Amino acid sequence: MERFLAHHREFGFDQYYSQLSAVVRHRRQFLDNAKGNFLRFKKVVDALPDLIPSDIELDAKAVRAGRDSDLTAGKKQALAEGLKNLCPWRKGPFTLFDIAIDTEWQSWMKWDRLVPHLPRLDNRKILDIGSSNGYYMFRLAHHNPLFVLGLEPQSSFYFQYLAVQKYLRQQNVFCLPIPYHELPATDRYFDLVFCMGILYHRKSPVEMLKQIHDSLKKGGEIVLENLVLEGRKNLCLFPVDRYAKMRNVFFIPDLAAMESWLARAGFINIRCVDVSPTTLEEQRKTDWIQTESLADFLDPDDPSKTVEGYPAPVRAVFMAEARG
């Protein structure tokens, strides 16, 4: 966390330095006195062996660091056990010293659908809201942005990021273990904001989109991935209780409603660049999650519906520009 603050002049956030410092100090105190899952996962990461990878590969389906030949059998066993103790691994995959982390999501599939539509990334200031274990941040790092800053408040995902970054050592990738609402307002600062799989968890989605809009430079872009309803009737689904067994899902818009939200928030040049049903190839149970996955969330007699009877998950990616 402190590593990001050290770049405040290079990254041009002097005006936000005192506010960010206060947030970082508060989270550092929390982590130094961690309890529960934060303490458990912190101990796991602290115990991971110190290793120097012979090579690193960011532009591949599985983000990779090192080879089996880089370490002894004892260190490989310790590494494998430590990584397993950080389960569940949702986003990925990763390969660390030839240990293949077969994550629940084949995130490269989403990345491959998205990357042709991304703007120029070199020397850009990028924010990833809900960055999980950093898979997309590391894929972005291959394109030489000035920096990618992730926000990830969930303990297991944040410490997975620390574990992977321990070996990838990407100097332009950072993560703060905070939710988005704790990030100080950064007016017209970022060039690109990723908000993927987050908005349907918000009770006030347009308000969040407005905050993102105001954090972007004129012409800066949002990459927004969200659950959607197929169709263009300006309608939203509001689940009675759960959606695909998730408790905290509020609004699932159709494509027209999503575009209306973005316009209301101030965005222009709004376009939907991908609409894809979530498949059992892309999201599935593996030995690295030990929990239910997509197959358990669908009606076994009609996989076009969730177990609650709603339309099965379809995700769309939208891009839009901040108005001047």
Q: pLDDT of 256-301, one tens digit each?
A: 999 999 999 999 999 999 999 999 999 999 999 989 999 999 999 9
**Of all helices (H) and strands (E), which one includes residue 320?**
strand 314-322
8 A C-beta contact, residue 323 and residue 218: yes
Residue 131 and residue 223: Cα distance in Å, rounded? Answer: 13
**Extents of the domains making up the chain:** 2-322
Identify whether the C-beta of residue 138 lies closer than 8 Å to the C-beta of residue 60.
Answer: no
Residues 6+ apart with CB under 8 A from 230: 254, 255, 275, 311, 314
CA distance 49 to 78: 7
Average pLDDT over residues 164-184: 97
CA–CA dist 268, 118 (Å, integer): 16
Question: What secondary structure letter does DSSP report for 71?
Answer: S
- The continuous run of DSSP H or E covering 56 comes out as strand 56-57
Residue 229: helix, strand or coil by DSSP?
strand
Q: How far apart are CA 255 and CA 276, in angstroms?
A: 12
For 266-270, the CB contacts below 8 A with 24+ separation are: 266/210, 266/213, 266/214, 266/322, 266/323, 267/209, 267/213, 267/222, 267/320, 267/321, 267/322, 267/323, 268/320, 268/321, 268/322, 268/323, 269/320, 269/321, 270/318, 270/319, 270/320
pTM: 0.96
Domain 2-322 matching CATH 3.30.2310.20: the answer reads no
Encoded tokens for 204: 């006030």
What's the length of the chain? Answer: 324
Task: Report d(CA 84, CA 89) in Å as an integer.
Answer: 9
As a whole number, mean pLDDT of residues 19-48 equals: 93
- C-alpha 209 chain-centroid distance: 17
Q: Does residue 210 have a pLDDT over 80?
A: yes
User: How far from the centroid of its chain's Cα atoms is residue 230's Cα?
Assistant: 24
Residue 234 has pLDDT above 90, yes or no: yes
Rg (CA), the chain: 20
pLDDT tens-digit readout, 93-148: 999 999 999 999 999 999 999 999 999 999 999 999 999 999 999 999 999 999 99
Helix (H) or strand (E) holding 306, with range, is strand 302-306
Q: For 94-108, how does the pLDDT look when each residue is reduced to its tens digit (9 = 90+)?
A: 999 999 999 999 999
**Which residues partner with 253 through β-bridges?**
236
User: What's the chain's average pLDDT?
Assistant: 96
Instruction: Name all contacts of 129-132 with Cβ < 8 Å and 24+ positions apart.
Output: 129/180, 129/193, 129/194, 129/195, 129/196, 129/198, 129/212, 130/180, 130/195, 130/196, 130/197, 130/198, 131/157, 131/161, 131/175, 131/194, 132/90, 132/91, 132/157, 132/160, 132/161
CA 65, CA 269: separation in Å to the nearest integer? 38
The full DSSP string for 86-124 is T----S--EEETTEEE--SB-HHHHHHHHGGG----TT-
Predicted confidence at residue 284, as pLDDT, reads 97
